[in-house]
Amino acid sequence: MTQCPKGAHELPYEDDTRGHCDEHGVTLLWHGPPITLEDFTPEPHGRRFPPPAPRALGRHPH
């Protein structure tokens, strides 16, 4: 989970592409998330999320 930038709590709504806090009216888009080694390491038990999109790696499609 991700910490709400305007409050001392975690975002009540969060998925692969965005996070949202109704209470504070905050929407975060994960266009520059911190990438961890786990994102590049195949997991033997399967992944819970699809691999990061190219833009998440800092590349631009054009």
**Residue ranges binding Zn ion (CB under 5 A):** 4, 7, 21, 23-24
First-residue to last-residue Cα distance in the chain: 31
Q: Looking at beta carbons only, is 7 or 54 nearer to Zn ion?
A: 7
The three-state secondary structure class of 29 is: strand
Q: Looking at beta carbons only, is 17 or 27 nearer to Zn ion?
A: 27
State the CB neighbour count (10 A cutoff) for residue 30: 17
Closest distance of CB 12 from Zn ion, Å: 8
Contacts by 46-54, CB closer than 8 A, 24 or more apart: 49/16, 50/16
Closest distance of CB 21 from Zn ion, Å: 3
Closest distance of CB 13 from Zn ion, Å: 10
